[in-house]
Amino acid sequence: MNPLSFKQRLQSSAPVLAPGVYDALTALVAEQAGFEALYLSGASIAYTRLGRSDVGLTTATEVADTLARITERVALPVIVDADTGFGNALNTQRTVRAFERAGAAMVQLEDQTFPKRCGHLDGKGVIPVAEMCGKLRAALDARHSSDTLILARTDAVAVEGLDAALERAEAYLACGVDAIFVEAVRSPEQMNAACSRFASRIPMLANMVEGGKTPITAADELGRIGYRIVIFPGGTARAVAHTLQRYYASLHQHQTTAPERERMLDFDQLNALIGTPELLAMGKRYDA
């Protein structure tokens, strides 16, 4: 799906379900599973590349590099987490240009103070509305194509309350952004309030974090509320970490992978998944 068709797809009543990915392999498996779009989670990059928490430690270059590796491997549109833009309005412009070059279909920017932290951790802060609007206008001016979408996220629910968060979202909508994300709403009532105000005017994103602030809800139900994008950003990293805990514990205990064999791909199965036979066949075209 090219960026233009992704933009058109968001006008449909059925929500786009975008699983979280953090590298080319997770993106490839998600594409093979049949998803329409992917979400490159900044938190998951911190988890997997750094082995650290989502507290503003990743850089724009690390995210852009990860994004480029993903878009080189898969054809799906990628929504990419750009945190706070990694600085002020001018930094935000550099970030948007870098992510657009790397193949982003949608760039997400949030109104947290720096260093930011995961939207479902306590202790967040938010910048003034006027400062965020400046960043959003800078982002919109920076993109080369209007088909590269800008998603405005507000984290104000946890800091200033729902009403203030909705007023912030209203201001961000007025800047001309392409989608709105009210982070860490606490209840179905708050989700309904956000969608009742905005869903008829602009695509809304719902963020499902296992163990987070927002009740986990199925994508089809969120679509009925009014959301057009549903992400499960960190679920992939949590599932992989859980699997690795079991795998490594078993290998350490048994000194062999035999007990885990039925829960693993073998050599040939993994090569089939990543397309090794096709790659080798392509290489033969260039043999001497």
**Per-residue tokens: 164:** 């203030």
Judge whether residue 4 has pLDDT over 60.
no
| CA nearest to 101, candidates 125, 130, 71, 123 | 71
224 and 249, same domain (yes or no): no
C-alpha 200: how far from chain center: 23
Q: Which of 224, 240, 256 is the last residue of a domain?
A: 240
Q: What is the pLDDT of residue 1?
A: 62
**Per-residue tokens: 225:** 């509320």
Q: Round to whole Å and give the CA distance between 168 and 250.
A: 49
pLDDT digits (tens, 9 = 90+) for 187-240: 999 999 999 999 999 999 999 999 988 999 999 999 999 999 999 999 999 999
Please report which helix (H) or strand (E) contains residue 21, including its range.
strand 16-21
77 and 217, same domain (yes or no): yes
Judging by beta carbons within 10 Å of its beta carbon (0-12, 13-18, 19+), is residue 225 exposed, middle or buried?
A: middle
pTM: 0.95
Q: What is the pLDDT of residue 116?
A: 85
Q: Which residue has the higher pLDDT, 124 or 40?
A: 40
Q: What is the CATH number of the domain that holds 63?
A: 3.20.20.60
257 and 168, same domain (yes or no): no
135 and 154, same domain (yes or no): yes
Q: What is the pLDDT of residue 117?
A: 76
280 and 252, same domain (yes or no): yes
228 and 252, same domain (yes or no): no
226 and 103, same domain (yes or no): yes
200 and 246, same domain (yes or no): no
Question: 207 forms bridges with which residues in the sheet?
Answer: 231
Collapsed DSSP state (helix, strand, coil) of residue 103: coil
83 and 31, same domain (yes or no): yes
**What percentage of the chain has pLDDT greater than the value 90?**
91
221 and 255, same domain (yes or no): no
On whether the CB atoms of residues 169 and 152 are closer than 8 A, the answer is yes
pLDDT digits (tens, 9 = 90+) for 72-120: 999 999 999 999 999 999 999 999 999 999 999 999 999 999 888 776 7
Q: What is the pLDDT of residue 288?
A: 79
Judge whether residue 2 has pLDDT over 60.
no
Domain membership of residue 62 as a residue range? 3-240
**Per-residue tokens: 208:** 């499902």
247 and 105, same domain (yes or no): no
Q: Which residue has the higher pLDDT, 150 or 118?
A: 150
Judge whether residue 159 has pLDDT over 70.
yes
Per the structure, how many domains does the chain have?
2
247 and 115, same domain (yes or no): no
Judge whether residue 3 has pLDDT over 90.
no
